[in-house]
Amino acid sequence: MSSIYKTFNNKNSYLLLIACQIYIIISFISSFYKTKTLKPWSDEIVSLVSNFNFYLNNFNFIGPYGTEYFTSYSPKLTAGPISSIGAVISWIFTDNIYIIRFANFIYLFLLSILLLCIVLFAFNFEIKRNLILLTTLFLFSLTNTSWWYGILYLLPETICALIFANAILLFEKHRKISLLIMGISIFFGDFLTVLMFFGFYISTMYYERSLIRVLKDIPFGILPPIIWLSLVIFFSDYNLIDYFSEYYNHYFRHRSAGNVDFSSSSIVNNFVNSEVSKWGIADFTRILFAPILFSFIVIRFNILTSITNLGKAQILLPLLTVFTWFWLLSPVKSIIYSGLFTTFMLIFTSYLIVLAEFKKELVFYLLLTIYAFFFSSFFLIVIYMIFITLFFIIKKQKIQRKQILIILIISMCLNQLNVIAETASLLTYEVTVKNCKASITEVDCWDDYFEK
């Protein structure tokens, strides 16, 4: 199978392009509908207020007045400044919370296109013929994980996973920029991303075994934390000792962090007492089995070499560090955190589906199967798997990759229509932040949001 961009010259490819455009439109409609079904939640108003203050109030990163978050640069403010840029920009023009939420989705969408173009340009892949297909697959990856709508709540997990996945691909071509981007995703996004960085850089040191390269990387790796700590020193009441102490207590002694205990009894207790019992079967299978299938594909087959010279461990360890912490160590297993590794996995799956060279059709089939885990309907999963299985069985027709991808994108369109139907059946909530417009740092803002 050749790379998809080599087959776009065929006139039949217009069907694939049209399907991609339809999917993008449907996804935008679905996401806007979703904004009205989200009930008020403290994390949303905390993120909105703190990030508004960061960008428009002299870098004063502080949460709502009268709450535990009303401490500038408090480690409790876990949604960093990159998590809600779209919301902050829209806040300048409107006080409609639904538009603010949707604006953050648009920000995520535009950011994904920007990062995608940078990666395609860096590796000399043809941008024009790959862009819309990869954009479509990216959009599915960003809006069909469990609790993907955290982006509408202005949370950082999906954004950081998107940034980190693309930063890893850029590492080979633009090492310094890649390290800077990774650091930004950690200290200006979601600190849990540090687990992904740890996995990636440990594997990088293993492959390179060069102290000189490590020393050259240090200035770029530590620049983001230096900038962040400088902001803490100049714009908060913390000194570094107190800040590090509170930072450690919040991130490493928090009940959701867990202890480094791989004993069977600890793992079982963490599982039994976690939030997993509240999940549906779809969430359980996609969060547990999809990453395992992806890891098997990468380990068993040499498919990365056709798009990057990075080693398998450099792709897998960032995924597996968070995956292992989540399933074995975290006593809470908040489904929100699963977005880090599932989104990361889907972004890489999208790149491989479109750009990789496959010596075995089985590999392509298995990668296509990963998407089935994230469909919203069991009926759609069955129909999708039947169709792609039949296409691979009928080898005499020498089916091209684009023909399989048409089935994938059409299935995604049907899935998104089903999501819209399901969303339409949900309750909607009247949420207002009008009082916040004039007094975002006052207690009225918090009370107005929760209608107190």
> pLDDT band for position 440 (50/70/90)?
low
Exposure string for 30-69, b = 16+ CB within 10 A, e = fewer: bbbbbbbbbeeeeebbbbbbbbbbbbeeebbbbbbbeeeb
Q: For residue range 68-110, what is the model confidence (pLDDT) as tens digits?
A: 888 999 999 999 999 999 999 999 899 899 999 999 999 999 9
Res. 261 pLDDT band, cuts 50 70 90: low
Between 442 and 3, name the one with better pLDDT. 442
The confidence score (pLDDT) of residue 413 equals 97
Q: Which residue has the higher pLDDT, 422 or 264?
A: 422
| Among 103, 145, 203, 173, CA closest to 344 | 145
Residues 6 or more apart from 403 whose CB is under 8 A from it? 12, 391
Residue 267, φ and ψ in degrees, nearest 5: -65, -45
What pLDDT is recorded for position 433?
83
Instruction: Decide: 35 and 147 in contact? Cβ < 8 Å.
Output: no
Q: Could you tell me the pLDDT band of residue 266, with boundaries at 50, 70 and 90?
A: confident
pLDDT band for position 398 (cuts 50, 70, 90):
low
pLDDT digits (tens, 9 = 90+) for 311-344: 999 999 999 999 999 999 888 899 999 999 999 9
52-56, 114-118, 150-154, 293-297: least confidently modelled range = 52-56
Taking the CA atoms of the chain, what radius of gyration do you get in angstroms? 22
Q: What confidence tier does 260 reach under pLDDT thresholds 50, 70, 90?
A: low
Distance from C-alpha of 76 to C-alpha of 333, rounded to nearest angstrom: 18
Model pLDDT for residues 297-313, shown as the tens digit of each residue: 999 998 888 888 999 99
Angle CA 337–339–345, to nearest 5: 130
73: region left, alpha or beta (phi > 0 left; psi from -120 to 50 alpha): left
User: What pLDDT score was predicted for residue 441?
Assistant: 60
DSSP 39: P
Closest CA to 29 of 416, 422, 427: 416
Q: CA–CA separation, 131 vs 5, rounded Å?
A: 10
Tens of pLDDT, residue by residue over 169-227, are 999 999 999 999 999 999 999 999 999 999 999 999 999 999 999 999 999 999 999 99
Question: What per-residue confidence (pLDDT) applies to 262?
Answer: 66
For the chain, give the mean pLDDT: 90
Tell me: pLDDT of 249 over 60. Answer: yes
CA dihedral 363, 296, 195, 170 (to 10 degrees): -20
Label residue 451 by pLDDT band (50, 70, 90).
Answer: confident
Helix, strand or coil, per DSSP, at residue 181: helix
Which two three-digit tokens encode residue 245?
């102490």
The model's pLDDT over 352-395, given as tens digits with 9 standing for 90+, comes to: 999 988 888 889 999 999 999 999 999 999 999 999 998 888 76
Q: Using an 8 Å Cβ cutoff, are 388 and 407 in contact?
A: yes
Measured distance CA(162)–CA(158) in Å, rounded: 6
**DSSP H helical segments within 190-260, as ranges?**
194-208, 211-235, 240-252
Asked if residue 251 has pLDDT above 90, the reply is no
What type of residue sits at position 266? S
